[in-house]
């Protein structure tokens, strides 16, 4: 399988959730060298090759950022689409990326779509979005189901942002608003989002119970 340097892979989103990054780092650093190699081998990073032969990430931004944080320099990649043979404009390329759900051009404040020109050049430039952390925590706690739909957690983050759960407290208040966020995730207001479950679960979920999700 082909490998690539982490910093050669181009992000297709502006932000990440720091809570998920921290949990993933904790999990990855707890693995032996052999187990880490096996873990990453089973999770190749999906990319698209652009007409200029650059490699663009279309998923696993959080995993890749966590790998870089613990000192991993290269990862195995899976080429989902090779557009290097196409003679298309920059604008047409990004139109194709968005239409194919390979790019998410809203920033950490939910503003957008922004011009892809402003995307960070590598994984180090991703900004922290507390609402993305809240969405991941809600999913880990059973509020909705993980899906294969690209950028699904981003869509959930926008639902929680719309309801301003973290407007005054910031990301440190995730545990305080978690029960409310789960109830919203189970309500009819979320029924069109990927992974919607719509069934009540036991309230008072603790953040300590969501670490297992990083092993997926």
3-state secondary structure of 56: strand
- Can you give the pLDDT at residue 148? 86
Query: First CA to last CA across the chain, in angstroms?
Result: 21
Count of all residues that appear for the chain in the document: 216
- Can you give the pLDDT at residue 137? 95
53: region left, alpha or beta (phi > 0 left; psi from -120 to 50 alpha): left
- In this prediction, the residues of the chain whose per-residue pLDDT falls under 70 are 168-172, 199-216
Please count the structural domains in the chain: 2
Residues 186 and 174 reside in one and the same domain: yes
Residue 132: half-sphere exposure toward Cβ, Cα within 13 Å: 24
Q: Which of 57, 72, 80 lies closest to 11 in space, CA to CA?
A: 57
Domain residue limits at 72:
3-127
- Can you give the pLDDT at residue 204? 47
- Tell me whether strands 55-57 and 74-82 are parallel, antiparallel or unpaired: unpaired
Please identify which residue in the block is written with the tokens 């696993």.
60
Residues 160 and 101 reside in one and the same domain: no
The token duo for 19 is: 């809570």
φ/ψ of 122, rounded to 5, equals -155, 180
Dihedral sign for Cα atoms in the order 121, 123, 125, 130: positive
Domain boundary among 127, 150, 179: 127
Residues 10 and 93 reside in one and the same domain: yes
φ/ψ of 84, rounded to 5, equals -70, -20
- Can you give the pLDDT at residue 169? 54
Residues 56 and 115 reside in one and the same domain: yes
């Amino acid at each position: 399988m082909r490998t690539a340097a982490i910093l050669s892979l181009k992000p297709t989103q502006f932000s990440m959730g720091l809570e998920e990054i921290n949990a993933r780092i904790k999990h990855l650093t707890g693995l032996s060298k052999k187990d880490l190699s096996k873990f990453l081998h089973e999770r190749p990073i999906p990319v698209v090759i652009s007409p200029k032969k650059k490699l663009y990430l279309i998923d696993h931004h959080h995993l890749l950022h966590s790998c870089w944080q613990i000192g991993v320099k290269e990862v195995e990649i899976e080429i989902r689409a090779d557009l290097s043979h196409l003679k298309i404009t920059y604008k047409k390329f990004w139109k194709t990326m968005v239409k194919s759900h390979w790019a998410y051009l809203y920033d950490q404040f939910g503003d957008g779509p922004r011009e892809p020109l402003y995307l960070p050049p590598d994984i180090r430039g991703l900004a922290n979005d507390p609402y993305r952390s809240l969405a991941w925590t809600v999913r880990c706690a059973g509020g909705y189901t993980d899906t294969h739909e690209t950028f699904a957690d981003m869509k959930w983050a926008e639902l929680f942002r719309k309801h301003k759960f973290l407007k005054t407290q910031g990301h440190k208040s995730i545990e305080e608003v978690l029960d409310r966020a789960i109830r919203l995730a189970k309500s009819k207001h979320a029924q069109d989002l990927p992974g919607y479950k719509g069934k009540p679960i036991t309230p008072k979920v603790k953040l300590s119970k969501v670490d297992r999700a990083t092993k997926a």
